[in-house]
Amino acid sequence: MRAWIGGLIVAVLLSASGAAAQQRVLVLEGGTLIDGTGRAPIADSVVVAEGSRIKAVGTRGQVSYPANANVIRLTGRTILPGFIDSHLHTEDWHVPLFLHYGITTILSKVVDPAWQIAMRQGLAEGTIKGPRMFFTGTTIDGVAVAAGPNGPGVWNMHPVTTPEEMTSFARTIIANGAEAINTNQSISEAQLIALLAVGKEKGVPILGHVPNMCRAADLGMKYEEHLFMTGGCVLDPDNKTNVGLAASFDPMVLADPVKYPPVVDHLVKAGVYMNATLVGQWIAESPRAKEIVAESTAMAKDPQFAFIPQAVRDLWNRPSAPRRLGFANTSEFLRQFAAAGGKSIIGTDAGYRTIPGLSYHYELQMMVDVGMTPMQALQGATLWNAEVMLQAKDLGSVEVGKLADFVIIEGDPLKDISVTKNIRMVIKDGEVQDIKLNGNYVPPIPAPYSIYNLPQAITKITPAIVRKGGQTVTLEIEGTGFNANEAGFAANSIVRFDDVDLPTKFVSGSKLTATLDARLLQRGPGLYPIHIFSPGIYGTVSRQAYLVIDTADAPVSTIPMPYAAYTAARPIGPMPRMAPQGSKTLTVEIAAKPGSRFAPNAIVRFDNTDLPTKFVSSTRLSATLDGKLLQRTPGSYVFYVFTPGPFGTVSQPAYFQVGFKNSKMVWAEPLEPK
């Protein structure tokens, strides 16, 4: 079978290149077409693609095509529209998996926008092999929740406080190139009204979280993900509480199915699309749990998946979510919603825990398990997804005039939805794609905030106290990550004492040693910051710990206060966020997030270089990024602010994107709401 596929791909590609002087014509002949519209399948179909567009659709004998067309015989196979995943948190290692699993279009959310622009450009130009990409840019964070894990200040979320700020910032995001806008559930009603107005004005969909889906639907919101917002309106139909905002509590746990019918009717009539993210949220409760764990565990050992970080593959031997209550209530709501004609879409919420591609096909299966028909599930994977993204003019179904994206599978998904995994060919823009995986794949443009650069924490410094005027000493630094897989120090980690990089030896992921020269012990007594940074692509920076320098006259027996006693500024920026490789010297600006401040002696650091820094105010710095630093390989480089001297601090990391050479794309947004 694989030899047949490989030979067919080569023949098609060679034939297409030989006909380069004219518009290429590709014909899919003899397969059963399920076109994404919900219409009955077409047996013995013919689909003609001219260039990147569909030219004709019908049955064999009723559709003509040129004699020199590239004809692919598909008798016994099923033709589907290219799959769309409308809810992803894309990482760079995801990209090869999409075409491999039949996904020809993606919508990426809540990921660094500068990196997404660079990735989208590479995919569009063919520099990177993969799907068509749309993205949301910076998530807009409202003010209905003042603090907590979903309050203002979450990474890649820009807080706004008024409807006017919402309007201005939303327009900025769109002007920068985002095809959709994502919002956090802390948005107020007045802000949501302003945001929906911008979306309507610009023809851009508004996605993300809101406090109460029924009220949001009344205002014009057409999208919900995870269902906790629906749980909110089941429990609180008059929207008098903030039950739908709870970060650690899913209202569906308490939602009484007896109360579902009016909510279902409300949302169906309002035209709301439901993105349940069943695999990401509920796989542990599903009968599919053992099946997906067995398949993903086998994948983790397969050499063709070796390009995926080991830390990710180590997570694949267990369900991607802890067991929790509420799945039965969620399933019943989706069943009633589908029965009433509601549209549920396939968006996996894949990040580093949920496996892109594989999770997509299990999402289809779980949707059918909870009550959707196979045809509804396929529409949720194709046309309804395109409708959510406001891209149905070009995508989502096999109809004349649309882009020629197809997935060819073995089997009948209307009888058994699991056969969508039996992919035999993927076609995007009228061209047969190479869907083989390469275990040695290296991301052409690495991403920030990757599994590779998870945060590091210093837990112990030995010795923790040194004497002023003492001899050169070797420090032992112990630490770990503070996340699910306990990632620790990188092999290229460097220990930094105050404003000096120390000669560092990597002992293990939990231990480093560093040489503290005696000359550094001539400094005045006090607590000096120690932090760890990893230079280069996938670089990161730890939070500070402290080393005490004491004197014989004033010896210190214990660390006088916890390492976390001194609050570091949290940076917004830098702006601009990206520049093409080879750019000239530029000035970047960094702001402090609300509640934090910069010190007058703060220094901005790009990767392993301290930049000339100007203190503008306690909430604003500017720094000069020399053009020589922009000759580096395209990728995302760590960018942070440190304050040297006693009680010095180290900020959380930000990233600056070096893009492809000659790129015209930029991402610049206001550092403060306007």
Task: Check whether residue 518 and residue 605 sit in a common domain.
Answer: no
Write the pLDDT tens digit of every residue in 164-175: 989 998 998 899
Distance in angstroms (rounded) separating the CA atoms of residues 51 and 65:
13
Write the pLDDT tens digit of every residue in 487-521: 678 889 999 999 999 999 999 888 999 999 999 99
In a domain, 439, yes or no: no
Q: Output the pLDDT for position 428.
A: 98
Q: Which two tokens stand for residue 312?
A: 């990710």
In a domain, 88, yes or no: yes
Which residue type, as a one-letter code, is found at position 530?
I
Pair 520, 542: CB distance under 8 Å:
no
Distance in angstroms (rounded) separating the CA atoms of residues 74 and 147:
56
In a domain, 90, yes or no: yes
Q: Which two tokens stand for residue 321?
A: 């979510």
Task: Check whether residue 179 and residue 156 sit in a common domain.
Answer: yes
Task: Check whether residue 155 and residue 250 sit in a common domain.
Answer: yes
- Which residue has 């939602």 as its token pair? 255
Length of the chain in terms of residues written: 674
Bridge partners, 458 (sequence order)? 479
- Given 539, 559, 579, the domain boundary residue is 559
Of the candidates 367, 433, 381, 392, the one whose C-alpha atom is nearest the C-alpha of residue 80 is 381
Instruction: Report the DSSP pairing between strands 613-617 and 540-541.
Output: unpaired
Count of beta carbons in the 10 Å neighbourhood of residue 444: 19
Distance in angstroms (rounded) separating the CA atoms of residues 385 and 372:
15
Task: Check whether residue 541 and residue 578 sit in a common domain.
Answer: no
Distance in angstroms (rounded) separating the CA atoms of residues 65 and 26:
9
Task: Check whether residue 507 and residue 654 sit in a common domain.
Answer: no
- Given 543, 559, 575, the domain boundary residue is 559
Of the candidates 359, 358, 376, 371, the one whose C-alpha atom is nearest the C-alpha of residue 414 is 376
In a domain, 319, yes or no: yes
Could you check whether the bond before residue 670 is cis, i.e. omega within 30 degrees of 0? no
Of the candidates 219, 143, 155, 103, the one whose C-alpha atom is nearest the C-alpha of residue 453 is 155
CA distances from 17 to 25, 27, 131, 306, 460 (A): 11, 16, 21, 32, 62
561 contacts: CB under 8 Å, gap ≥ 6: 527
Residue 314 DSSP label: G
CATH number of the domain at 110, please.
3.20.20.140
Task: Check whether residue 529 and residue 381 sit in a common domain.
Answer: no
Of the candidates 142, 210, 205, 202, the one whose C-alpha atom is nearest the C-alpha of residue 172 is 202
Task: Check whether residue 244 and residue 123 sit in a common domain.
Answer: yes
Domain total in the chain: 3
Pair 209, 246: CB distance under 8 Å:
no
Task: Check whether residue 214 and residue 93 sit in a common domain.
Answer: yes
Could you check whether the bond before residue 81 is cis, i.e. omega within 30 degrees of 0? no
Q: Output the pLDDT for position 59.
A: 96
In a domain, 70, yes or no: no
- Which residue has 């990161």 as its token pair? 540
- pLDDT under 50: residue ranges of the chain: 1-21, 144-155, 247, 482-485, 674
- Note every long-range contact of 47-52, with CB atoms under 8 Å and residues 24 or more positions apart, other chains counting: 47/79, 47/398, 47/406, 49/25, 49/404, 49/427, 49/430, 50/23, 50/24, 50/25, 50/430, 51/23, 51/24, 51/404, 51/430, 52/403, 52/404, 52/429, 52/430, 52/431
Of the candidates 250, 219, 244, 216, the one whose C-alpha atom is nearest the C-alpha of residue 229 is 244
Bridge partners, 181 (sequence order)? 206
CA distances from 504 to 489, 492, 521, 529, 548 (A): 12, 9, 17, 16, 19
- Given 522, 541, 559, the domain boundary residue is 559
Cα-based angle 105, 654, 143 (whole degrees, multiple of 5): 80
Task: Check whether residue 645 and residue 537 sit in a common domain.
Answer: no
Per DSSP, the three-state class of 113 is helix
Distance in angstroms (rounded) separating the CA atoms of residues 23 and 448:
40
Of the candidates 119, 155, 136, 137, the one whose C-alpha atom is nearest the C-alpha of residue 446 is 119
Of the candidates 140, 152, 110, the one whose C-alpha atom is nearest the C-alpha of residue 596 is 152
Q: Output the pLDDT for position 284.
A: 86
Write the pLDDT tens digit of every residue in 520-553: 999 999 889 999 998 998 888 988 889 999 999 9
Distance in angstroms (rounded) separating the CA atoms of residues 57 and 27:
10
CA distances from 375 to 28, 86, 268, 339, 641 (A): 21, 18, 18, 13, 53
CATH number of the domain at 598, please.
2.60.40.10
| Predicted model pTM | 0.88
Q: Output the pLDDT for position 265.
A: 96
CA 248, 253, 256, 261 torsion: positive or negative?
positive
* CA 613 centroid distance within chain: 31
Q: Output the pLDDT for position 540.
A: 87
CA 148, 151, 156, 159 torsion: positive or negative?
negative
In a domain, 122, yes or no: yes
Task: Check whether residue 552 and residue 580 sit in a common domain.
Answer: no
Instruction: Name the strand (E) or helix (H) holding 168.
Output: helix 163-175
Q: Output the pLDDT for position 674.
A: 46
Domain of 465, in residue numbers: 446-559
Q: Output the pLDDT for position 146.
A: 37
Sort 408 into a burial class: Cβ within 10 Å, 0-12 / 13-18 / 19+: buried
In a domain, 334, yes or no: yes
Task: Check whether residue 97 and residue 128 sit in a common domain.
Answer: yes
In a domain, 440, yes or no: no
Q: Which two tokens stand for residue 146?
A: 């003042």
Task: Check whether residue 645 and residue 547 sit in a common domain.
Answer: no
Distance in angstroms (rounded) separating the CA atoms of residues 107 and 347:
9
